[in-house]
């Protein structure tokens, strides 16, 4: 599987299916290696991936991430193998432990210790029986990883990691922990708007749902952002997590991640105009195959 240097990450749940397929085809035509889709309270990511993969030719669909509390290991392994087989291997399974408020509050499950729970889950996935048509031999998995122990587990047990809501310093630390060969697929939010003050307002709105979640907040603190900076949406914090500004700012942030050791950047283009779709202007500008 070749993800290339750039992919697209976006909440596509509010896009009608025909619009999502059309967007996926444009992303493919622009030369991006993968479209990353989440799992929260919207579409099932496996059904979505299967539908988009059936109507594209080279694009990889990746889950960013599939929640391990939503399916037992056997069901997760079957879903991965089914979509990989049907698409000729164009499916990348991103797994994560999600967040305690979402697991316990929304799903009604007990939230276990993240690293131990993930380790046990991966072991059971590896032992899961499967009687379907055989998928390709290459069935990569990446883990949503922020802290040092989950990053180490990513390199030890899977193809690599998919950090989210981070900065290039986290990418540098992750590469040191994971070694030179693991995949490091870093999500990066961008707001393509030359008026930096206006761009920051879009970024602030985009980060609000993440700020109450301890996994992100604790990681931001490990990276050196203070509680006051996080709570007040300081310029240093917002600019650190979201690339706000014109093309030079966005390209500079992507390059900073690559220089720090990222193998693939998942661009999440927040839309300054609002609406259910991404800001396609910056996707076309950054298109690996040209606009």
**Do the domain assignments include residue 217?**
yes
What gap in Å lies between CA 84 and CA 60, rounded to an integer?
Answer: 10
Q: Do residues 45 and 13 touch, judged by C-beta distance below 8 A?
A: no
Residue appearing with tokens 């991965």: 80
In DSSP terms, which residues pair with 41 in a beta bridge?
Answer: none
Q: 290 lies in a domain?
A: no
Closest CA to 4 of 23, 28, 26: 28
Phi, psi at 185, each rounded to 5°: -100, 95
pLDDT, residue 101, reads 84
The CA-atom distances, in angstroms, between 135 and each of 2, 78, 91 are 17, 10, 11
The per-residue pLDDT for 291 is 59
* Residue 276 scores a pLDDT above 90: no
How many other β-carbons are positioned within 10 Å of the β-carbon of residue 188?
27
- Tens digit of each residue's pLDDT (9 = 90 or more) over 211-245: 999 999 999 999 999 999 999 999 999 999 999 99
Tell me, yes or no, whether 28 lies in a domain: yes
pLDDT, tens digit (0-9, with 9 covering 90-100), for 30-70: 999 999 999 988 999 999 999 999 999 999 999 999 999 99
How do strand 160-161 and strand 141-143 relate by DSSP bridges? parallel
CA nearest neighbour of 279 among 267, 288, 290, 291: 267
pTM metric for this prediction = 0.96
CATH of the domain at 34: 3.20.20.30
Q: Is residue 1 part of a domain?
A: no
In contact, 224 and 205? CB cutoff 8 Å: no
Q: Any long-range contacts for 227-235 (C-beta under 8 Å, 24+ apart)?
A: 233/200, 233/204, 233/207, 235/200
Q: What is the mean pLDDT of the chain?
A: 96
Query: How many domains are there within the chain?
Result: 1
pLDDT digits over 153-165, tens only? 999 999 999 999 9
Backbone torsions φ then ψ of 228, nearest 5 degrees: -65, -40
In this prediction, residue 105 has a pLDDT band, given cuts at 50, 70 and 90, of confident
Residue located via tokens 């930096």: 196
Q: Which two tokens stand for residue 104?
A: 């316990």
- For residue 54, the model assigns a pLDDT of 98
Q: Examine residue 291 and state whether it is found in any structural domain, yes or no.
A: no
* Sequential DSSP letters for the chain: ----SEEEE---TTS-HHHHHHHHHHHHHTT-SEEEE--SSSS-HHHHHHHHHTT-SSPEEEES-EETTSS-HHHHHHHHHHHHHHTTS-EEEEEE---HIIIIIIS------HHHHHHHHHHHHHH----SS---S---EEE---SHHHHHHHHHHSSEE---S--HHHHHHHHHHH-SSSEEEEEEEEEE-S-HHHHHHHHHHHHTTTTT-HHHHHHHHHTT--HHHHHHT-HHHHHHHEEEESHHHHHHHHHHHHHHT-SEEEEEE--TT-SSS--HHHHHHT-TT--
Range of the domain at 163: 6-285
In the chain, the percentage of residues whose pLDDT exceeds 90 is 92
């Amino acid at each position: 599987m070749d993800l290339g240097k750039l992919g697209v990450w976006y909440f596509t749940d509010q896009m009608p299916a025909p619009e999502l397929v059309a967007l996926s085809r444009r992303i493919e035509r622009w030369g991006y290696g993968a479209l990353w889709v989440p799992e929260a309270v919207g579409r099932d990511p496996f059904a979505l991936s299967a539908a988009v993969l059936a109507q594209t030719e080279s694009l990889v669909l990746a889950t960013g991430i599939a929640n391990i509390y939503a399916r037992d290991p056997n069901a997760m392994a079957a879903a991965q193998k089914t979509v990989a087989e049907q698409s000729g291997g164009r499916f990348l399974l991103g797994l994560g432990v999600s967040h305690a408020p979402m697991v316990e509050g929304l799903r009604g499950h007990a939230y276990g210790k993240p690293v131990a729970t993930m380790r046990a889950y991966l072991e059971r996935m590896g032992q899961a029986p499967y009687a379907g048509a055989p998928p390709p031999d290459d069935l990569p998995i990446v883990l949503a990883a922020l802290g040092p122990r989950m990053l180490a587990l990513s390199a030890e047990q899977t193809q690599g990691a998919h950090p989210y809501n981070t900065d290039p310093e986290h990418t540098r630390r992750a590469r040191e922990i994971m070694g030179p060969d693991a995949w490091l697929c870093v999500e990066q939010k961008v707001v393509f708007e030359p008026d930096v003050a206006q761009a920051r307002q879009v970024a602030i709105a985009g980060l609000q749902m993440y700020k109450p979640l301890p996994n992100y907040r604790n990681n931001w603190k490990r990276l050196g952002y203070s509680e006051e900076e996080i709570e007040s949406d300081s310029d240093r914090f917002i600019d650190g997590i979201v690339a706000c500004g014109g093309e030079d700012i966005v390209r500079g942030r992507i390059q900073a991640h690559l220089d720090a050791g990222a193998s693939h950047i998942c661009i999440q283009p927040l839309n300054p105009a609002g609406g259910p779709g991404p800001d396609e202007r910056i996707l076309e500008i950054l298109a690996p195959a040209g606009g």
